[in-house]
Amino acid sequence: MVRAGEISPTELVGQSLERIDRLDPELNAFRKVFAEKAMLEAERAEARRSAGDTRPLLGVPIAIKDEIDVAGEVNMHGTDAFEEPAKVDSEVVRRLREAGAIIVGLTLLPELAICGFTESATYGVTRNPWNPQRTPGGSSGGSASAVAAGMVPIASAGDGAGSIRIPAACCGLFGLKATRGRVSLAPQLEGWRGMTVEGCLSRSVLDSALWLDVVSGGSKEAEAPAPPEYPFAEAVKRSPGKLKVGYSTLAPRAIAPPNVSEEVKQTTIEAADFLATLGHEVSPRDPDWGRIGDTITARYLKGVAETVAEVPLPERLERRTRGFGRLGSLLPESLYEKAMANRPAEIARINAIFDQVDVLVMPVMGGTALPVRRWQGRGALHTVLGMSRFYPYCVPWNHLGNPAMSIPFGLGADGMPLAIQIVGRKESELQLLSLAAQIEAERPWADLRPPIS
């Protein structure tokens, strides 16, 4: 719209700021809003557009999850435990600015991005636009709430154990966790011992593909993939062809047995049937999970413990957050190393399913978005047990490194969004995006919006 002259950057940013001003007091998606600065940048973008600038995100208002560096801002990570402003932009922010995007604000997350809900003692409860008594998920809940409510068209998100896909599922959005190392985490080398991937939340597949084109590359991680054969945005315009599709509702067992509703299981089966109507070859296929839950638990807790240990003012953290740190620190390093020694065999065993199918369809989580304050006042052990039961489907793919996406798939009996997760082989984002676009064309979800004006 900006490129076509249908709307100016100042109008677009102004509308974004107006919605934030009107809706965010109830939803609490933003930690900080850059109203004056964003309008100045919009004026500059308008001048550049008039001069023929064609950068892909020129004049587009975006939000950044408050876990990656924005120059001059204190990266709070959902806490009150940081004081030092970032000296330079993170690589992701640098690339977004270079593409012409305008940052209108920083979105909220739970402390240190640990939880699958967005609540903290410092910033309060972030709410779901579909129902303010439900969580938008976590850890990228602020970004999900902001996009679902139309405060911004797209926002950054990070995924260390499902934190792109879970908020997408909670809020009726599209969310892709790319292959490990697809997006640089600089100035960090990696996050949560290699489990974290940066990405975005959007209403459309094309928007996420364009974002990935802008931010991908430059990673120094050992498992970083090669660049794609062609732009991700181009994949959205191509047919995926006839694919072999497996589907499963079998969840890996971690600390406790999974808790998955019949509605979620039925939605997965309905999605498989729908893909069959599109001409794909569909069959039930369960991953050979084995004891992957043991490895995941060790890796997750060790990654969290390292994150807690790096906080400059740990006394300001919530009791539960410090408890997460203690859980991880109690885990012997030798046990972690033994668990990680199993990872190559787990990658080979579980990814063997992709010798039989091209993609795997499964749930994102055990139900629709949970009520807010579900685990308020609970300790770390109780919380991690509860989350492991309700969110068992996402974290294996962080551990293994495969790309996976959350796709809206209608509404539940409670009026909240339902979703499916589709997982592919490593480096198969082109195929996943093409399939997601095919589903979106046949079952468009962007016009299905929450009851908030």
- Type of residue numbered 150: G
Query: Is the separation of the CB atoms in 68 and 46 below 8 Å?
Result: no
Strands (E), 320-401: 359-362
Give, as one character, the DSSP assignment of residue 88. Answer: S
- The tokens describing 288, both together, are 């050979």
Retrieve residue 180's tokens: 């490990």
Of these residues, 16, 139, 140, 216, which one is catalytic?
Answer: 139
User: Which CA distances in Å does 325 have to 138, 157, 306?
Assistant: 18, 23, 7
Cα of 141 vs its chain's centroid, Å: 9
Give all strands (DSSP E) within 257-364, no chain letters: 281-284, 359-362
Alpha carbons 81 and 106: distance in angstroms, whole number: 17
Catalytic annotation present for 145: no
Quote the CA–CA distance of 48 and 95 in Å, as a whole number.
Answer: 17
The reply to whether 90 belongs to the active site is no
- Among 219, 220, 202, smallest CA distance to 211 is for 202
Nearest Cα to Cα of residue 361 among 256, 415, 287: 287
Residues 6+ apart with CB under 8 A from 203: 147, 153, 154, 173, 174, 445, 446
Catalytic residue among 8, 16, 65, 208: 65
**187 preceded by cis ω (within 30°)?**
yes
The answer to whether residue 65 is catalytic is: yes
Q: Which of 140, 163, 184, 219 is catalytic?
A: 163
Q: Is the dihedral angle over the CA atoms 372, 378, 380, 383 positive or is it negative?
A: negative
Distance separating alpha carbons of residues 414 and 408, to the nearest angstrom: 15
Whole-angstrom CA distances from 113 to 83, 98, 102, 120, 239 are 18, 27, 24, 11, 36
**C-alpha to C-alpha distances, 333 to 212, 221, 299, 314, nearest whole angstrom:** 35, 22, 10, 22
Neighbours of 246 (CB within 10 A): 23
Q: Judging by DSSP bridges, how do beta strands 404-411 and 417-424 pair with one another?
A: antiparallel
Closest CA to 178 of 194, 192, 193, 199: 199
**How many CB atoms neighbour CB 436 within 10 A?**
25
For residues 58 and 47, what is the distance between their CA atoms, to the nearest angstrom? 11
The residues annotated as belonging to the active site are 65, 139, 163
